[in-house]
């Protein structure tokens, strides 16, 4: 008899039956951790994850006192220093509260009733290690860290981040006005980075994003934003993946109140905001990070070689450690509570799932690779289950469905099933094979060589019952060293022939056409959600390269040129407008939330793909030269159809070869089905499909055969 802990998983996939033991162990291991932390803290999981309210440095606005609580095991002394006490290591010493290394201090208000530590002043922890050495560290729970200011000569003497006591007055603290939006259509994600979201070669701000980028995203029709590089990272070029301060948001973009305003405005526009959360590893920085915090290599991390990720040059968390769980779970709740994020995209999930971290390991799909103790890190999986139980618990408290997305290349079964069904709990996984496929095709194959059986297989090859986010390209493909789709298609002429006043060359014509077709077929066929990296929707003409020594610390490529879509004489606008129309297919017809498409045709020599999804008929002609008049297509429902999206429309940079409107009547042309079965569908329809064109039809009126 199947254990109820995993019944849902086995009902979906009977091939999991030989691995029942591993699945049950995961759930019981996670539950034992929950029992452990809740019994120890005498609280619920959600209350345990509220430790961010007590750990760290907190102001009490009732009596203007300041409470300091820090977990620092294996040290002789802890004190709080800063501008407020002239960095005197003896002035404000914390007292050891228990044998586990919990230290505490209460600082009373000044004689005049003001806080002893001024708002936004510099602070640090001073520690005397077991060796007797005195070191200075930033509190792991610090909510603000800033880059050192230049001296009188304009030079920055140190690159080590400084801790700040962020405590604005209630009048200056941002108050949220808009509720979290309830989405009724599929998830359409706009992946964005605050710093590059400006055409100018500089670091963009939260304020700029709120004012100038949110309206663009709203116009496009994306209903979810995934914000990258929000957690503080000392090295800008790490793209936010080398976190130094987990509770501090990046100060280079603005203040905490600025970020709250951004999220609130997104909510007002009906857009959810996800945080790109990095719990897979941490920066090796010592003085402004977590590494060697208390003089040991195992503070929140595994000690020795197990605690190092050699390829990423970073530290790896010990997910079996009680205080590590407190820190990471509180980190999640902090961002949901304080900044009102609507969920997370978890980075580096493959690295977390496996002891080998996915390095030099080719996943074949053999289930032993996913459940063998030799490969799998059960402590990390237990942490992820705890994280999702916390997210579920918070969702019940707020009557809201928070979203979680896994960046996993391995295809771990049950990863995207609810914990109640025996899964890990993610709502979606990223379909990472899809962008790899498109890049390989553009890089290695001529158009005539494209294998549409393989293309359709890659787009539809996902686990039943586990949702996927499809995408053609993300930030990975935009980085220097790789190329975006637009660059692979048109880089030879993007700087010379993207003006409407210039000749439409074969390269630009092909590029515009295939850019639209690739994105539409991925959008409609590839998953239960869709993702786009900012700027790629309009074919951004340059790669992404952050300032670093190798490029002379230049910001010239660390930006997105949104000004290009404001110029109606440039062809970038065609791609932007097409993306708008594509997003609205889901908004109007529910494409992404519909069951997986039925593919009725993938014709290799004609290069034609036909499928039905969400009540729409999608038709693609990828052939580089052949157009097809009166091409017979199979379709299930008999009736009258009309075109709702045409990639060859002149407003999208097409050639206008299809007349969509009857000039005599001013009404859309109608396409009538015939009661002739075709390609395993009950009816058929004749359409004209020009070369490199995609058409989408909707049923206007049903008829009886």
By annotation, the residues acting in catalysis are 347, 407
Reported in sequence order, the residue ranges of 53-186 that DSSP labels E, i.e. its strands, are 56-60, 65-71, 75-82, 95-96, 102-107, 122-129, 134-137, 145-146, 162-164
- For 395-413, the DSSP string reads HHHHT---EEEE--SS--T
What is the SS3 string spanning 591-634? Answer: CCCCCCCEEEEEECCCCEEEEEECCEEEEEECCCCCCEEEEEEE
Q: How many other β-carbons are positioned within 10 Å of the β-carbon of residue 532?
A: 26
Cβ–Cβ < 8 Å for 469, 189? yes
Find, among 226, 221, 208, 216, the residue nearest to 262 by Cα. 208
Handedness of CA 156, 157, 160, 163 (dihedral sign): negative
DSSP 417-479: S-GGGTS---SEEE-THHHHHHHHHHHH--GGG--HHHHHHHHH---TTS-EEE-S--HHHHB
CA 324 to chain centre: 23
Which H or E run contains 157? none
Pair 590, 614: CB distance under 8 Å:
yes
Q: Please give the backbone phi and psi of residue 475, each rounded to the nearest 5 degrees, phi first.
A: -65, -30
Tokens read off for 561: 């040129």
Q: Provide CB contacts within 8 A for 688, sequence distance 6+.
A: 627, 628, 629, 630, 631, 657, 658
Q: Give Cβ neighbours of residue 483 (< 8 Å, ≥ 6 apart).
A: 439, 477, 491, 543
For residue 122, give the nearest of 53, 57, 63 by alpha carbon.
57
Beta bridge partners of 146: 162
Q: Are strands 187-193 and 224-228 parallel, antiparallel or unpaired?
A: parallel
Chain length of the chain: 705
Report how far residue 222's alpha carbon sits from residue 600's, in angstroms, rounded to the nearest whole number: 29
Residues whose CB is less than 8 angstroms from the CB of residue 188 and which lie 6 or more positions away in sequence, other chains included: 221, 222, 223, 224, 529, 530, 583, 586, 592
Structure-token pair, residue 196 = 């590059």
CA distances from 487 to 90, 171, 536 (A): 60, 48, 10
- Cα–Cα distance between 124 and 524 in angstroms, integer? 52
Buried b (16+ CB within 10 A) or exposed e, 104-130: ebebeeeeeeebbbeeeebbbbbbbbe
Q: Are 43 and 82 in contact (CB under 8 A)?
A: no
């Amino acid at each position: 008899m199947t254990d109820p802990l995993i019944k849902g998983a086995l009902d979906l996939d009977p091939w999991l039956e030989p691995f029942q033991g591993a699945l049950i162990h995961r759930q019981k291991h996670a539950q034992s951790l929950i029992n452990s932390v809740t019994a120890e803290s005498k609280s619920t999981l959600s209350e345990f994850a509220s430790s961010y309210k007590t750990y760290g440095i907190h102001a009490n606005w009732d009596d203007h006192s300041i409470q300091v609580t820090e977990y620092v095991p294996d040290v002789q002394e802890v004190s709080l220093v800063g501008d407020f006490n002239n960095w005197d290591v003896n002035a404000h010493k914390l007292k050891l509260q228990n044998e586990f290394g919990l230290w505490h201090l209460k600082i009373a208000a000044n004689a005049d009733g003001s806080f002893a530590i001024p708002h936004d002043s510099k602070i640090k922890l001073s520690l005397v290690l077991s060796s007797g050495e005195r070191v200075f560290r930033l509190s792991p729970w610090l909510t603000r860290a800033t880059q050192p200011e230049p001296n009188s000569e304009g030079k920055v003497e140190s690159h080590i981040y400084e801790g700040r006591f962020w405590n604005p007055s209630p009048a200056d603290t941002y108050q949220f006005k808009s509720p979290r939006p309830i989405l009724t259509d599929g998830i359409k994600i706009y992946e964005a980075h605050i710093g590059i979201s400006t055409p100018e070669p500089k670091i963009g701000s939260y304020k700029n994003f709120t004012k100038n980028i949110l309206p663009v995203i709203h116009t496009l029709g994306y209903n979810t934003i995934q914000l990258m590089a929000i957690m503080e990272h000392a090295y800008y070029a790490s793209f936010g993946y080398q976190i130094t301060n987990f509770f501090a948001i990046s100060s280079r973009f603005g203040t905490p109140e600025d970020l709250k305003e951004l999220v609130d405005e997104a909510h007002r526009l009906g857009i959810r905001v996800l945080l790109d959360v990095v719990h897979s590893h941490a920066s090796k920085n010592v003085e402004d990070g977590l590494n060697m915090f208390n003089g040991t290599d195992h503070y929140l991390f595994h000690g020795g070689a197990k605690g190092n990720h050699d390829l990423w040059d970073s530290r790896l968390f010990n997910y079996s450690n009680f205080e590590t769980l407190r820190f990471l779970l509180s980190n999640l709740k902090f961002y949901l509570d304080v900044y009102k994020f609507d969920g997370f995209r978890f980075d580096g999930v493959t690295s977390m799932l496996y002891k080998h971290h996915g390095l030099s390991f080719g996943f074949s799909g053999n289930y032993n690779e996913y459940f063998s103790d030799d490969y799998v890190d059960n402590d990390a999986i237990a942490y992820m289950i705890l994280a999702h139980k916390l997210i579920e618990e918070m969702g019940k408290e707020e009557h809201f469905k928070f979203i979680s997305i896994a960046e996993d290349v391995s295809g771990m079964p049950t990863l995207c099933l609810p914990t109640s069904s025996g899964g890990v709990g993610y709502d979606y996984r990223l379909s990472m094979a899809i962008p790899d496929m498109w890049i390989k095709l553009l890089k290695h194959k001529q158009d005539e060589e494209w294998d549409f059986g393989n293309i359709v297989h890659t787009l539809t090859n996902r686990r039943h019952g586990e949702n996927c986010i499809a995408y053609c390209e993300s930030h990975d493909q935009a980085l220097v060293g790789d190329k975006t789709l637009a660059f692979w298609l048109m880089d030879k002429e993007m700087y010379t022939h993207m003006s409407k006043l210039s000749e439409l060359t074969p390269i630009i014509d092909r590029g515009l056409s295939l850019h639209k077709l690739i994105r539409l077929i991925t959008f409609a066929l590839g998953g239960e959600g869709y993702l786009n990296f900012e700027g790629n929707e309009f074919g951004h003409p340059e790669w992404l390269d952050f300032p670093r020594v190798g490029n002379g610390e230049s910001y010239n490529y660390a930006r997105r040129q949104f000004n290009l879509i404001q110029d109606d004489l440039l062809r970038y606008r065609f791609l932007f407008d097409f993306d708008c129309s594509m997003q609205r297919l889901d908004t109007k017809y529910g494409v992404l939330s519909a069951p997986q498409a039925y593919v009725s045709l993938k014709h290799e020599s004609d290069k034609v793909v036909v499928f039905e999804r969400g009540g729409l008929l999608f038709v693609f002609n990828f052939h580089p030269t052949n157009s097809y008049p009166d091409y017979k297509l199979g379709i299930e429902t008999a009736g009258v159809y009309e075109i709702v999206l045409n990639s060859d429309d002149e407003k999208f940079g097409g050639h206008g070869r299809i007349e969509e409107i009857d000039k005599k009547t001013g009404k859309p042309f109608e396409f009538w089905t015939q009661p002739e079965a075709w390609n395993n569908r009950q009816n058929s329809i004749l359409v004209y499909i020009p070369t490199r064109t995609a058409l989408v039809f909707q049923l206007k009126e049903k008829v009886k055969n």
